[in-house]
Structure 1
Amino acid sequence: MNKMMKIIGAVAVINIVARLFGFVREMAIANQYGTSTAADAIVTAYTIPNFIYLVVGGALTTAFISVYHSTKTDKALFVRKSFTTVLVAAVAITVILIIFTDPLLHLFFKGLSVEEYALTRNLYLWMMPSSIILVLSTWMSGVLNVNGKFNLSSLAVLLYNASFVGIAVLLTSYFGPESYGIGALVGALLMGGFLYAGLRKSRLYSLKPSFAMSVDTKRLWVIALPILFGGASLQFYAVIHRIVADGFGTGTISAVNFASKLTGFPQAIMMTAVTTVIYPLLSKKQGEGDMETIRALYKKGMLYLFALLVPATAIAYFFAEPLVRLVFGHGEFTEASILLTVPLFRVFTLSMFFLAANTYITRFYYAKANSLVPVIFSLINVFVINLGVIYLMIDSYGASAIAYGTVISAAMNFVMLAVYARVKWKL
């Protein structure tokens, strides 16, 4: 256990730096464009590619790890087949979404002006191809993680975030907001290249495509599809934020984005480090039937989350305005932008523990090959409770209703997941 915590600590340090660069990107957008039409366009354009990256990449990688630890066939062949599966899926989804660019943008983002739509479309076309590389990068990180190469996957995220923001800021004076589209694509290429080089150097497995179907490939999809739908429902928080915020005028989309990203920063650092190390171990222990270790991991993880995130929530809530001023209050991020962002951030902070705990508990469901129950809970909370709260509160609380919807639905999701895990597995 001590060795595992040391590994988590090392991964956490790298992830802190990586997440810092990712957050610096948000700070750079705020500094250069404030809560303007350009800022809204950047945030809007990145929503769908990021959705594919997190949902498709996350689902296929989680399923890969589960099958990898339980497969009875040759692991090298399974890696080749799963690589082919991930590659074909990523390319197919990305090509379809590029072909239907205009209908897709009009469907999800109806309130865009002509100028904002043109900018959003250009940014989207720059960013969308990166989805293929990001999905493959997530899968390659999974291959490295199941073989104990945790630092390489964390360093890849650091490289992606650092190059993304560095290129975007460097090229802004030449290309304007479209520099963020260029940064997204080049950053993804660098990340993918780094991970591929790491796999080659480690001499773990060949990535030569193998198109033959097998029982394990089918199992990969059986496990991945529920996880994909569950992840999609959770990521729809971000899509819902964009759609609802669009009704409040220029700047609200970016203000909601900045508030939610500032809220998610501490819990993302914690959860990325913990799940990177714990999930492969969980899958292994589940395969061995070691419920004692699984219960110990669950209890300790929940205790650490509570001890770290509850005080962080209190600090963020009571010092919301100075924090927003300190992080974003520079350049084009005016006093009006601060006043728009602070109330949203204050409410969003209340979701920190619940969102982190939901991610953490869900990993135990996945380790037990139970990916359907979290999907059902997510669908109920994101599309019923979340939207219901927004609808009921929007007239009285304005844009803050978006944040209240996230807080209340995340808390309800936590209760559902924790109670079911307690009854089903005595966790």
Structure 2
Amino acid sequence: MSKMMKIVGAVAVINIVARLFGFLREVAISTQYGTTSTADAIVTAYTIPNFIYLVVGGGLTTAFISVYHSTKSDKMLYVRKSFTTTLVTAVSITVVLLIFTNPVLHLFFRNRSVEEYAMIRNLYLWMMPSSIILVLATWMSGALNINGKYNLSSMAVLLYNAAFVGIAVALTSTFGPQSYGIGAMFGAILMGGFLYAGLRKSKLYSLRPSFGMSDDVKRIWVIALPILFGGASLQFYILIHRIAADQFGDGMISAVNYASKLTSLPQAILMTAVTTVIYPLLSKKEGEGDNETIRKLYKKGMLYLVALLVPATAVAYFFAEPLISLVFERGEYTREDVLLTVPIFRAFALSMFFLAANTYITRFYYAKANSIVPVLFSIVSVLGINVAVIYLMKDAFGASSIAYGTAISAAANFVMLVVYARVKWKL
């Protein structure tokens, strides 16, 4: 077994446990609140903070890694400036979204009663500040990954997910649904503290702020902005899920969320492990001009995805009802909730391979400093094809139209990415 595959294997094991704890949060919500308006409120409140975490953190970290391998300036100073840029960006966005809490929530989530809105707002105010720490944690994970310390970043995600669900469940009897806001905040603090301690102990870099717009910082933004838009377009899937599901009545937001999270679990486990190791290697090989190794990585990764996710898709589709029942049917999540979720889950299962493959292929575009084309493809797929499919199918398929929109648009995006990569780089 190659050294790279051993690393991927170790990271995969940690990520499996981390993702399982993350998924246990959804199971806990379903057990305690089923598919009710309270479950909808918890799921809804976390949407925007999670959007910032994944989009801003992922975009700036990807750009940071790309510039790190090619910069000619002092790397220590570059790291400090990159950290400062990430910190200022995360704080600025979070403060603006907190100041405009009511307009933001009313913009995305309109069909809520006064009581439900008050619950969403309270949870949002608990969860939103955690996005600052989570964005910084993503950046610190990137700094550790480029130095081969993959296990630390994976352990941090495990700590966050375990603390989030553990605190939420433990405090539910005292604080009710608000416990999930408390869990989100303290889980983020533990994750950020763990990664900061890891960086300090390894003595890799100083995180003392360094302000000023250097050429490297400008390059970060040149690379990051298209990635931010691309990541945003992909995360718009989640926002569209929430907004569209709200039209189908109480409980549909949580039902769509449970179905989506269960189908995304295997692809998340696989893709996080692979991209954690492959992207820094890709960036390095691209800097060296080693196109042959890049082509081999691309083909091998695609074969792994087909071998693992196509069978997983078949199992999920044909055994949807027993799977949903096994995972969720307990507590407040009743047999009626199972039957409500099954058709949505089946439709989401069809997107498993395509979503994972799109994430994988996009990393090759980023390594080649081509972040604009994936953004354009994502916009066409998510905001064009996806929305159109939901609109055309909603009367006939109800909430399942949301899942079919994801599957069809993800397949279209996959075709565009593969064809362009083949023509442009012979991948």
TM-score, length basis structure 1: 1.00
Q: Aligned partners of 2:3 and 2:283: how far apart in 1?
A: 18
| Alpha-carbon separation, structure 2, partners of 1:6 and 1:419 | 31
C-alpha displacement of 1:362: 0.1
Structure 2 residue aligned with 1:150:
150
Q: 2:413: which partner in 1?
A: 413
- 2:103 and 2:262 map into 1 onto residues whose CA distance is 31
Correspondence for 1:348 = 348
CA deviations 1:220-243 (Å, max 9, x no partner) are 000000000000000000000000
Partner of residue 76, structure 2: 76
What residue in structure 2 maps to residue 214 of structure 1? 214
The residue that corresponds to 1:375 in the other structure is 375
**Structure 1 residue 319: deviation in Å?**
0.4
1:308 paired with 2:308, answer yes
Give CA-to-partner distance per residue, 1:177-205, whole Å, 9 cap, x none.
00000000000000000000000000000
Question: Is 1:365–2:361 an aligned residue pair?
Answer: no
Give, in angstroms, the shift of residue 50 of structure 1.
Answer: 0.2
Q: CA deviation at 1:2?
A: 1.1
Determine the C-alpha separation between the residues in 2 that align with 1:178 and 1:334.
Answer: 23
Distance across 1 between alignment mates of 2:131 and 2:109? 20
Alpha-carbon distance between aligned partners in 1 of 2:111 and 2:242, rounded to the nearest angstrom? 10
The corresponding residue for 2:269 is 269
Equivalent residue number for residue 107 of structure 2 = 107
- Following superposition, the deviation at residue 112 of structure 1 comes to 0.8
Residue in 1 aligned with 2:90? 90
State how far apart, in whole Å, the 2-side matches of 1:356 and 1:130 are: 27
Structure 1 residue 8 displacement after superposition: 0.2
RMSD (CA atoms): 0.5
CA separation in 2, counterparts of 1:356 and 1:212?
Answer: 37
Query: How much does 1:312 deviate?
Result: 0.4
How far apart are the structure 1 equivalents of 2:166 and 2:137? 20
Matches within 5 A, 1:17-416: 17-416=17-416
- Post-superposition offset of 1:337: 1.1
Distance 1:213 1:76 in 2: 15
Match for 1:115: what amino acid?
Answer: E
1:213 positional shift = 1.6
Q: CA deviation at 1:37?
A: 0.9
Q: One-letter code of the match for 2:322?
A: P
1:388-411 deviations in Å (ceiling 9; x for gaps)? 101111111111100000000000
Asked if 1:4 corresponds to 2:8, the answer is no
Count the aligned residue pairs.
427
State the 1:151 CA deviation. 0.1
The 1-side partners of 2:114 and 2:330 are apart by 28
Take 1:291 and 1:89, find their aligned partners in 2: how far apart are those partners?
34
Structure 1 residue 310, shift from structure 2 partner: 0.3
Deviations 1:345-399 (CA, angstroms, capped at 9, x unpaired): 0110000000000000000000000000000000000011000101111111111
Secondary structure at the residue paired with 2:250?
coil
CA distance in structure 1 between the partners assigned to 2:41 and 2:347 by the alignment: 24
Q: After TM superposition, where is structure 1 displaced by more than 3 Å over at least 4 residues in a row?
A: none
2:262 and 2:113 map into 1 onto residues whose CA distance is: 27
* 1:303-337 alpha-carbon deviations (Å, 9 max, x no partner): 00000000000001100000000001010001121
Q: How big is the shift at 1:57?
A: 0.2
Q: 2 CA distance for matches of 1:150 and 1:387?
A: 37
C-alpha separation in 1, matches of 2:364 and 2:312: 25
The one-character-per-residue Cα deviations of 1:119-170 (angstroms, maximum 9, x if unpaired) are: 0000000000000000000000000000000000000000000000000000
Paired letter, 1:26: E
Amino acid at match of 2:65: I
Equivalent-residue separation in structure 2 for 1:313 and 1:84 (angstroms): 42
Distance 1:38 1:108 in 2: 17
1:252 and 1:329 mapped to 2: Cα distance? 16
Q: Any idea what SS the aligned residue of 1:95 has?
A: helix
Could you tell me how far 1:62 is from its partner in structure 2?
A: 0.3
Secondary structure of 1:148 counterpart: coil
Alpha-carbon distance between aligned partners in 2 of 1:35 and 1:114, rounded to the nearest angstrom: 19
- 1:226-285 per-residue CA deviation (whole Å, 9 max, x = no partner) reads 000000000000000000000111000000000000000000000000000000000000
Shift of 1:102: 0.3
Q: Secondary structure, in 3 states, of the residue corresponding to 1:365?
A: helix
Q: What TM-score results when the alignment is normalised by the length of structure 2?
A: 1.00
- Work out the percentage of aligned pairs sharing the same amino acid: 80
Cα drift, residue 339 of structure 1: 1.1
CA–CA separation in structure 1 for the residues paired with 2:298 and 2:207: 34
Q: Distance in 2 between matches of 1:386 and 1:108?
A: 18
Q: Which amino acid aligns with 1:425?
A: W
